[in-house]
Amino acid sequence: MSSVKDWAAPNPVTENRSGIIGKGVERYEGKLKVTGTAAYAYEVEPPSAPAYGYLLAATIAKGRITAIDISAAEASPGVKLVWTHLNVPKQARRGERINPRSQRPANPALAGDRVEFFGQPVAFVAADTWENARAAANLIRVSYAAEPAVLDFRASLDLAEMPDGEEDVLIGDFEGAYARAPAQIDETYFSPLQNHVQMEPCATTAWWEGDKVTVHTSIQMVKGGQHALAETLAIPSEKVHLLTRYIGGGFGGKGQAYDDLTLAALGARALGQPVKLTYTRQQMFQATIHRPAVSMRVRLGAEPDGRLNAFAVEAVTHCARSASFVEHAANFSRNLYAAPNRLTGHRLVKMDIPHAGPMRAPGEASGMLSLECAMDELAEKLGIDPIELRLRNEPDVDPETGKPFSIRQLTECLNTGAQRFGWSRRNPKPGQVRDGRWLVGMGMAAAIRGNFLLPAKAGVRIDGTGVITLRQGMTDIGTGTYTILAQITAETMGVTMDEVKVELGDSEFPPAPGSGGQFGAATAGSAAFEANMNLRRALAELAIGDPNSPLYGGDPTYVTFGNGNIAIENRSESLATLVSRAAPDGVYVEGAISPAADARDYSQHTYGGHFAEVGVDTVTGEVRMRRMFGVFAAGRILNAKTAKSQVTGGMIWGVGTALTEGNVVDNRYGSFINQDMAGYLVPSHADIVDLDAIFLEEADDKANPMGIKGVGELGICGAGAAVANAIYNACGVRLRDFPMTPDKVLEGLMAKGL
């Protein structure tokens, strides 16, 4: 195993001689996407005419299917098959794992008469057209015996239990220190359940050749999907070829496979014909995972100078009864501020609604809404500027583990942001700044999100024309992965981007863990870097050993790559010349990365500061963004443009979290009230007027060989709290119930006599 020390030496990426690293180069696959020629899973052309599937969803929250009448559906025009739990082909049992190395166990569809949530697929129809399949599905009559269900989270907080295998983290004497603290904050914040609302719904196109199935599906984890399907069908994973070339948004919601994958594969096998199956927009809301709601109690006990002495962040959240998941909404606070006496922990309510699961920055995204507002409340109570309050609680080492930080630029983020944003113009007294009918205010919040490196592999091949093709079982969910892998390859091999090809999303390529947890660029990128370094070594050896090469007999330590050439001082030839002559079939090598043995000796995170200015309409209570600015420190930035898109995208989600987004369970049915994009409001262009972000110079040599870190989740962390704090500064209405819609703000304004 390697050590972080091995990563400190200069390498082609950190030297960045041609300057491609960091440049805001255009998206590698951008042209395909904007011209509509990037085939997403549902659009992939199968080898012969497909049948089209449709799923019928349960309309109760919990209970049993007592009868199901498919006769009308079977007789409906164009219908090829109708499956329910009574006649679906045999699959492995849920959770079963024949191959112990499978990353995911079996996940059978239509697996029984039990209904565990509203929206659960209960029947599958395949027909000659999608319309015929849908029309037939609507003719299926299902009878249920409904059972009492836990559906109302806020009314069920008393059911909350300690999650299995967890305990609270208690350091020092929180209760005592809190009781003695001269300044106290004790507030509870609520953030609602959120849906991922990816543009592209879950979808699969499947076909069989002999005993091997090819599935094009929209999933963030290639191996996870391949293994889940193989286990479900009880076939070896080599018999599943899973491809996921382009993904129209994932955000964590596609970290797992859904029934489209299983039923498309089963349907194609039964029909001897390719099958396409997609979730509808409504099914995406009702029947895939969501970010659970969080009720968070925050207690802060501080000295008059603002130093925190006692600090508790306690989250109550929920998950499906049958699929445990803990939204670790308090975890972030363990690494953020110094305080000697600390209490953090989680409680879980088991509910009869769809599965809770990860969504962009799980934990931080909802968790930071509480503490970062509570810090604002404490700052006001003590008459200290909210930035200054955070600076006074800046720890020298990780506040819980005592480990050194790999690098921590939170202070720089806050100070730079304050200066660039014009924070000094903020009036600390709320409700003072008027602009016509608007009250205007500013708010800020800190951002923190962990950084991770997972094991991954990559393969790289150079052919006789000098074209270098990187292959990896990695995904690009719209984040820019294709592009940064091309940049890493070009810089490492000393060629231009035009000479690089990147092929991703294929279970037969060297595996990478996929996109999630903002570990994608660091993990896949480092494996790609290592593969390219191995290719450099292989080509150096090839040239030095080839009597026809000008480098023949040279010292490999002096070999350099640049401008498409391989060289030792002034002896050089082009890569194309070398390969076409010495290895006409091309050269292929692989590379791998794994976490350094001592990586966990450091506290390693990405950081940021958010600054928001809002206007509150004093007539209607509508809140509109005026400006938002973020400063982030997240290691070396590989691509200025795609990285910025990631953090601004996160900030925009934070705006949505603060102002509009959220779903509500109808407690009578167990369904979500919002199930399309006209009802579930994400920010529109008009909501985001002036929003910008910058990155601080940084390289984290404890992170990986390139010193890069993740940026995909950092932008959302704390963003909503900055907006909420700005609302308070604007109008003096302190809301602790997200999202802060006009009805809530108006009530607050009226209570203040405004």
Partner 1 sequence: MRPFTYERPTDVAAAVKAVAATPGAKFLAGGTNLLDLMKLDIEQPTHLVDVNRLPLAGMEDTSDGGLRIGSMVTNSHLAADARVRSRYSVLTQAIVSGGSGQLRNKATAGGNLLQRTRCAYFYDPSKPCNKRLPGSGCSALDGLNRNSAIFGASEACIATHPSDMAVALTALGASLETMTADGATRTLAVADLHRLPGDTPHIETTLAAGELITAVVLPPAPAGGQVYRKARDRASYAGGLASVAVVGSQVAFGAVAHKPWRAEKTEAALASGAGAVEAAHAELAGAQDNGKNGFKIALVARMTADALAQAREGRGA
3-state SS, 651-698, equals HHHHHHHHHCCCECEECCCCEECCCCCCCCCCCCHHHCCCEEEEECCC
Q: Which of 412, 622, 692, 737 binds partner 1 (CB under 8 A)?
A: 622
Q: Which CB sits closer to partner 1, 138 or 419?
A: 138
750 binds partner 1 (CB under 8 A): yes
Q: Does residue 149 interact with partner 1 by CB under 8 A? A: no
The span of 34-42, 173-181, 530-538, 662-670 binding partner 1 (CB under 8 A) equals 662-670
State how far the Cα of 349 lies from the Cα of 153, in Å rounded to an integer. 7
Residue 627 sits in the site that holds partner 1 (CB under 8 A) = no
- Of 686, 697, 751, 753, the residue at the interface with partner 1 (CB under 8 A) is 686
Taking Cα atoms as reference points, which of 374, 372, 321, 367 lies closest to residue 346? 367
Contact mark string toward partner 1, 580..599, x via CB under 8 A? --------------------
Nearest partner of 1 among 599, 602, 456, judged by Cα:
599
DSSP string, 105-119: ----SS-SSEE-STT
Please count the residues of this chain forming the interface with partner 1, following the rule CB under 8 A. 39
Whether residue 489 contacts residue 528, with contact meaning beta carbons closer than 8 Å, is answered with: yes
Stretch that binds partner 1, among 18-26, 33-41, 131-139, 705-713 (CB under 8 A): 131-139
Using the rule CB under 8 A, is 676 a contact of partner 1?
Answer: yes
620 counts as binding partner 1 under rule CB under 8 A: yes
Q: Which of 116, 303, 713, 747 is catalytic?
A: 713
DSSP letter at 510? P
Residue 129 in contact with partner 1, rule: CB under 8 A: no
Helix (H, G, I), strand (E, B) or coil at 386: helix
Please state the closest distance from residue 130 (CB atom) to partner 1, in A.
10
For residue 741, the minimal CB distance to partner 1 (Å) is 5
Interaction between residue 674 and partner 1 (CB under 8 A): yes
Say if CB 646 and CB 480 are below 8 A apart.
Answer: yes
Site for partner 1 in 641-660 (CB under 8 A): 659-660
SS3 (DSSP) at 230 = helix
Q: Is 747 in the site for partner 1 (CB under 8 A)?
A: yes
Asked if 741 is part of the footprint of partner 1 (rule: CB under 8 A), the reply reads yes
Confirm or reject binding of residue 154 to partner 1 (CB under 8 A): no
Binding mask 410-439 for partner 1 (x = CB under 8 A): ---------------------------x--
Radius of gyration of the chain (CA): 27
Locus of tokens 């973020």: 630
Residue 205 near partner 1 by CB under 8 A: no
Q: Which of 1, 686 has the CB closer to partner 1?
A: 686
State yes or no: residue 69 binds partner 1 (CB under 8 A): no
What stretches of 250-363 show up as alpha helix (H) in DSSP? 259-271, 281-287
Strand partners, 615: 440, 624
Task: Using the CB atoms, write b or e for 18-41: b if 16+ within 10 Å.
Answer: eebbbbebebbbeeeeeeeeeebb
Phi, psi of 142 (to 5 degrees): -115, 130
> In this chain, which of 26, 166, 666, 690 binds partner 1, going by CB under 8 A?
666
Q: Residues 459 to 488: which contact partner 1 by CB under 8 A?
A: none
d(CA 247, CA 198) in angstroms, rounded, equals: 9
By CB under 8 A, what part of segment 71-90 binds partner 1?
A: 77
Q: Rule CB under 8 A: which of 244-303 touch partner 1?
A: 282
Cα–Cα distance for residue pair 679/560, rounded to 1 Å: 58
* 713 in active site: yes
Q: Which of 23, 33, 134, 641 contacts partner 1 by CB under 8 A?
A: 134
Rounded to whole angstroms, the Cα distance separating 516 from 712 reads: 8
**Distance separating alpha carbons of residues 489 and 681, to the nearest angstrom:** 40
Burial of 383 (0-12, 13-18, 19+ CB in 10 A): exposed
Q: What minimum distance in Å lies between the beta carbon of 128 and partner 1?
A: 13
In the complex, least distance from residue 64 CB atom to partner 1, rounded to whole angstroms: 18
Among the listed ranges 9-17, 86-94, 132-140, 628-636, the one in contact with partner 1 (CB under 8 A) is 132-140
Task: Name the residues that contact partner 1, by CB under 8 A.
Answer: 59, 77, 131, 134-135, 138, 282, 437, 617, 619-622, 624, 659-660, 664, 666, 668-669, 671, 673-676, 678-679, 681, 683-687, 741-743, 746-747, 750
Residue numbers annotated as active site: 713
